[in-house]
């Protein structure tokens, strides 16, 4: 899967509140580039993952 496809799938996983899958897709993106090379969109997805998930969503 390409970088763009992984970002797209991570966004879909976020919308579906499937955060474990979102982590998997973003890990694949992170392995393909240096942190400095992440786009704003990719950084925002990473920030979303670092925010605590309310218990009702777990």
Q: Which two tokens stand for residue 20?
A: 């474990």
With cut-offs at 50, 70 and 90, classify the pLDDT of residue 32.
confident
Look at the chain and report how many structural domains it folds into.
1
Residue 33 structural domain: 3-57
Mean predicted confidence (pLDDT) in 7-30: 93
Single pTM value for the model:
0.78
């Amino acid at each position: 899967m390409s970088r763009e496809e992984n970002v797209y799938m991570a966004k879909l996983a976020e919308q579906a509140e499937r955060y474990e899958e979102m982590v998997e897709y973003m890990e694949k993106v992170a392995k393909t580039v240096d942190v400095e090379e992440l786009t704003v969109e990719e950084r925002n997805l990473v920030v979303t993952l670092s925010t605590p998930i309310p218990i009702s969503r777990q």
